């Protein structure tokens, strides 16, 4: 699949009420796509739809952790738009692990929202994508998927699972003509990262992230990672032997 502009294409974005998802939905609409925006916050979705125009952004409230509701959302997209060309599965949360109070509930919540919701979304929209001439499936992972980081036992595991899932789908869906991409951003200014209590080098604004993501969608890039001044050095760092990598990362851990 070569470069395909998003103009005129029917695109579903989850986690679209805030942060990267909202910025991507707005950027897609700005470039002429027809966007179905999903999240739990119905008011925020409606405000975005009103601002962009009812023929450009359709609000479709959804709890992505509800498999049945996700399947019904796909049916609603089929009724509204008569099909779908692109799905950007983006919804997610971030919780950090305190190993002194190891709690499996953190892992359950994180995997349910970040990983299983994407599995539900893929199940729901694959039939629609198969009917498109230029189908694309995009999933939001993270640079943390490259290697383990302090306190990221749950969040990092969910993002690594997403990266593995989408890399596997790149192989299995290629024969069907469905382009698959995984997004691995560094730090982006969002309500989630605003809660972080550690330095975030090279953090970019959500609008810049959205431009990079939509550029990658149009280019059909298998992996969309940015900002390069962070993601490329971290890729190289991840290649270090385990003992050396762990020694370097141990300096990131705050003493208790």
Residues known to be catalytic:
155
Chain centroid to Cα 67, Å, comes to 18
Residue 56 to residue 227: CA distance in whole angstroms: 29
Residue 33 to residue 55: CA distance in whole angstroms: 10
Residue 227 to residue 252: CA distance in whole angstroms: 21
Residue 223 to residue 3: CA distance in whole angstroms: 14
Closest CA to 62 of 48, 74, 51: 74
Query: Residue 28 has which token pair?
Result: 């897609």
Which residues is 224 bridged to in the sheet? 183
């Amino acid at each position: 699949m070569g470069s395909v502009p998003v103009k005129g294409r029917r695109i579903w974005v989850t986690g679209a009420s805030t942060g990267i998802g909202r910025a991507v939905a707005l950027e897609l609409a700005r470039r002429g796509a027809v966007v179905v925006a999903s999240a739990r916050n119905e008011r925020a979705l409606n405000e975005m739809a009103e601002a962009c125009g009812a023929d450009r952004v359709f609000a479709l409230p959804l709890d992505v952790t509800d498999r049945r509701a996700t399947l019904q959302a796909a049916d609603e997209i089929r009724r509204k738009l008569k099909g779908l060309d692109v799905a950007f599965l983006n919804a997610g949360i971030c919780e950090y692990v305190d190993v002194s109070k190891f709690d499996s509930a953190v892992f359950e919540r994180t995997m349910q929202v970040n990983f299983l919701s994407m599995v539900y979304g893929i199940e729901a929209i694959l039939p629609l994508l198969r009917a498109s001439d230029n189908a694309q499936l995009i999933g939001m992972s993270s640079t943390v998927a490259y290697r383990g980081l302090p306190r990221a036992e749950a969040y990092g595991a969910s993002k690594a699972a997403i990266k593995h899932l989408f890399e596997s789908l790149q192989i299995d869906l290629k024969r069907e003509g469905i382009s698959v991409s995984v997004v691995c951003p560094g730090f982006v200014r969002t309500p989630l990262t605003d809660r972080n209590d550690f330095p975030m080098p090279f953090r970019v604004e959500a609008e810049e992230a959205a431009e990079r993501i939509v550029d990658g969608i149009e280019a059909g890039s298998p992996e969309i990672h940015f900002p390069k001044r962070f993601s490329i050095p971290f890729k190289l760092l991840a290649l270090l032997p385990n003992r050396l990598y762990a020694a370097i990362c141990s300096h990131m851990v705050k003493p208790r």
